[in-house]
């Protein structure tokens, strides 16, 4: 009898709990939430449900993952519903949903992507763009080779043809681990063009793209984007920003390498590596090497309004320009002059006839913990502008200073650079000579300070290079 009572009680309790849970679900407006299953769609050249990326995108819903297997995808699509009077949507794929598009799979393994072993190539063949990303969405594009894009006749900025490889409008995508190469736009953004977009662009190789006016590799227009860990190389434009051009965009650039980019017009090419105008931005731990322009071989900054740009842990090596071979910086007579700060900067062997740093009109520039090495003229300041230097290491410059420069804590001696021209050695004259500016890591992310004080320049000498062999010996 006791067992029967217990059994009946348990049954009643279970039924009661079930009824309570059901009522909570009905009355609580989703107090018990069940995540919708994420669909996984497969694309491959043959044998899969989809052979076209656009077809898979059309079938996908928000949150779905589209996995694309090794192969070369060349099918172009014109989506008339996205056309406007100034924009034509012709591309391999147009993305208007928050989905994940992942390349690098093999049909034998849909679990682990390997874009190097299984290259997934999106090649527009010059017949349109590769990707269009539009709308209030946050998709992810990961692990593709994006090439052959050409925006000729497709508009995008009024009647101007922009965004050869990827065109992004009003979206917040993550573009990562891609190779974006050999795309072209007649006007701006050979590789990528962003307008009103807060994209995250990281760990990509953006190379060999071209455009006529702005941003051979990438153009940012009113776009507070984050660029991190990218290699931006051998891109060209005629006028503004061989690698990257940023206009009125509060951009964050960190850990990028700009190499061998060119703003090639001999009379008006500005910013071989980077051209930044309008709003400021934060540049942290970027390397500019071998870029060329008429002005600002590595970096050209024209500060006009808004938050001021700040440069931290910047290395500029072997760039070329007639005016500001490493950095060109200026202001605008209609804006309030605000001081731009550069902290822990290394300039070495920038040439082409110009001073390593050129400060143009209406500008105020302050540099702390700077190495200026192997330039015909270290820094030249235009009449009416000002520059303040604190804790500077000078080496092998026939002329260090020209113009209105206030300087203190000057040092001279060999920086003892490695082969890359900015990492310092154990005999560097930059060791422990800097001052604290609240920068706690160097260009490699290693701790500052080490040893007896802060090192001058972008690199903090790593004492592990000295002590690690001792540690290994002591603790085998």
Instruction: Give the C-alpha separation, 226 to 241, whole Å.
Output: 17
pLDDT digits (tens, 9 = 90+) for 165-192: 999 999 999 999 999 999 999 999 999 9
Instruction: Give the C-alpha separation, 244 to 100, whole Å.
Output: 26
pLDDT digits (tens, 9 = 90+) for 353-362: 889 999 999 8
Instruction: Give the C-alpha separation, 163 to 181, whole Å.
Output: 13
Lowest mean pLDDT among 23-37, 102-116, 400-414: 23-37
State in words which class domain 238-476 has: mainly beta
Instruction: Give the C-alpha separation, 320 to 272, whole Å.
Output: 8
Q: Report which DSSP code applies to 51.
A: S
Q: What is the pLDDT of residue 309?
A: 86
* Domain regions of the chain by residue span: 40-223, 238-476
Instruction: Give the C-alpha separation, 63 to 407, whole Å.
Output: 56
Using CB atoms within 10 A of its CB, is residue 83 exposed (0-12), middle (13-18) or buried (19+)? middle
Place of tokens 């931006």: 232
Average confidence (pLDDT) over 453-459: 98
**With 60 as the cut, is the pLDDT of residue 475 above it?**
no
pLDDT digits (tens, 9 = 90+) for 340-356: 899 999 999 999 988 99
Instruction: Give the C-alpha separation, 400 to 372, whole Å.
Output: 8
**End-to-end Cα spacing for the chain:** 72
Instruction: Provide the pLDDT confidence category of residue 465 given band limits of 50, 70 and 90.
Output: low
Lowest mean pLDDT among 8-17, 296-305, 316-325, 394-403: 8-17
Q: What is the pLDDT of residue 303?
A: 85
Instruction: Provide the pLDDT confidence category of residue 278 given band limits of 50, 70 and 90.
Output: confident
Q: What is the pLDDT of residue 470?
A: 35
**With 60 as the cut, is the pLDDT of residue 152 above it?**
yes
Q: What is the pLDDT of residue 36?
A: 52
Q: What is the pLDDT of residue 29?
A: 42
Closest CA to 360 of 394, 403, 312, 406: 403
Q: What is the pLDDT of residue 335?
A: 64
Q: What share of the chain is helix, strand, coil (3-state, %, to 5)?
A: 10, 40, 50
Instruction: Provide the pLDDT confidence category of residue 337 given band limits of 50, 70 and 90.
Output: low
**Torsion, Cα of 416, 422, 423, 428 (10° steps):** 30
Instruction: Give the C-alpha separation, 112 to 133, whole Å.
Output: 25
**With 80 as the cut, is the pLDDT of residue 401 above it?**
yes
350: helix, coil or strand? coil
**With 50 as the cut, is the pLDDT of residue 96 above it?**
yes
Rounded to whole angstroms, what are the CA distances from 190 to 161, 246, 335? Answer: 10, 13, 31
Q: What is the mean pLDDT of the chain?
A: 90
**With 70 as the cut, is the pLDDT of residue 23 above it?**
no
Bond preceding residue 449 cis, omega within 30 of 0: yes
| Contact predicate 457/446, CB 8 Å | no
Instruction: Provide the pLDDT confidence category of residue 290 given band limits of 50, 70 and 90.
Output: very high
Higher pLDDT, 24 or 42: 42
Instruction: Provide the pLDDT confidence category of residue 27 given band limits of 50, 70 and 90.
Output: very low
pLDDT digits (tens, 9 = 90+) for 293-332: 999 999 999 988 878 889 999 999 999 999 999 999 998 8
DSSP codes of every residue in 292-337: B-SB-SSEEEEE-SSSPPEEEEEEEES-B-SB-SSEEEE--TTS--
Instruction: Give the C-alpha separation, 56 to 312, whole Å.
Output: 43
Average confidence (pLDDT) over 24-50: 67
Average confidence (pLDDT) over 259-267: 95
Q: Calculate what percentage of the chain has a pLDDT beyond 70.
A: 89
| Contact predicate 341/310, CB 8 Å | yes
**With 90 as the cut, is the pLDDT of residue 8 above it?**
no
* Sign of the alpha-carbon torsion through 260, 293, 314, 227: negative
Closest CA to 100 of 173, 44, 196: 173
Average confidence (pLDDT) over 432-445: 97
Bridge partners of 181? 147, 207
Against a cut of 0.75, is the pTM above it?
yes
**With 80 as the cut, is the pLDDT of residue 28 above it?**
no
């Amino acid at each position: 009898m006791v067992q029967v009572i217990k059994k009946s009680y348990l049954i009643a309790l279970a039924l009661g709990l079930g009824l309570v849970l059901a009522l909570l679900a009905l009355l609580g407006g989703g107090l018990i939430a069940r995540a919708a299953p994420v669909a996984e769609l497969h694309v491959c050249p043959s044998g899969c449900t989809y052979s076209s990326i656009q077809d898979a995108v059309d079938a996908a819903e928000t949150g779905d993952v589209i996995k694309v297997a090794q192969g070369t995808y060349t099918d172009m699509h014109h989506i008339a519903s996205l056309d406007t009077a100034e924009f034509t949507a012709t591309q391999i794929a147009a993305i208007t949903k928050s989905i994940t598009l992942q390349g690098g799979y093999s049909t034998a393994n849909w679990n682990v992507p390997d874009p190097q072993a299984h290259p997934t190539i999106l090649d527009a063949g010059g017949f349109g763009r590769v990707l269009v990303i539009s709308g209030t969405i946050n998709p992810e594009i990961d692990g593709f080779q994006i090439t052959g894009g050409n925006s000729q006749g497709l508009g995008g900025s009024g009647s101007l043809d922009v965004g050869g490889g990827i065109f992004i409008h009003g979206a917040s995508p993550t573009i990562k681990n891609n190779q974006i190469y050999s795309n072209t736009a007649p006007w701006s953004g050979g590789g990528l063009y962003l307008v009103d977009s807060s994209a995250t662009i990281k760990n990509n190789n953006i190379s060999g793209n071209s455009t006529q006016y702005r941003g051979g590799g990438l153009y940012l227009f009113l776009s507070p984007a984050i660029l991190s860990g990218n290699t931006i190389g051998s891109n060209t434009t005629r006028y503004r920003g061989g690698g990257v051009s940023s206009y009125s965009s509060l951009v964050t650039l960190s850990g990028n390498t700009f190499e061998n980019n060119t703003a090639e017009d001999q009379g008006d090419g500005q910013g071989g590596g980077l051209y930044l105008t309008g709003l400021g931005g934060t540049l942290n731990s970027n390397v500019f090497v071998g870029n060329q322009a008429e002005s600002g071989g590595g970096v050209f900054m024209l500060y006009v309004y808004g938050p001021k740009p700040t440069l931290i842990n910047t290395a500029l090596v072997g760039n070329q320009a007639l005016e500001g071979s490493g950095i060109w910086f200026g202001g605008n007579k209609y804006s309030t002059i605000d001081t731009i700060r550069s902290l822990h900067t290394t300039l070495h062997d920038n040439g082409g006839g110009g001073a390593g740093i050129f400060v143009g009109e209406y500008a105020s520039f302050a540099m702390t913990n700077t190495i200026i090495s192997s330039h015909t003229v270290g820094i030249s300041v235009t009449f009416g502008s000002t520059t303040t230097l604190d804790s500077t290491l000078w080496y092998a410059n026939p002329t260090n200073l020209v113009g209105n420069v206030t300087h203190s804590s000057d040092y001279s001696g060999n920086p003892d650079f490695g082969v890359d021209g900015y990492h310092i050695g154990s005999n560097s004259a930059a060791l422990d000579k800097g001052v604290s500016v609240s920068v706690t890591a160097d260009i490699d992310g290693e701790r500052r300070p080490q040893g007896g004080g802060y090192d001058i320049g972008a690199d903090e000498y790593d004492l592990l290079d000295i002590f690690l062999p001792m540690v290994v010996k002591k603790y085998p």
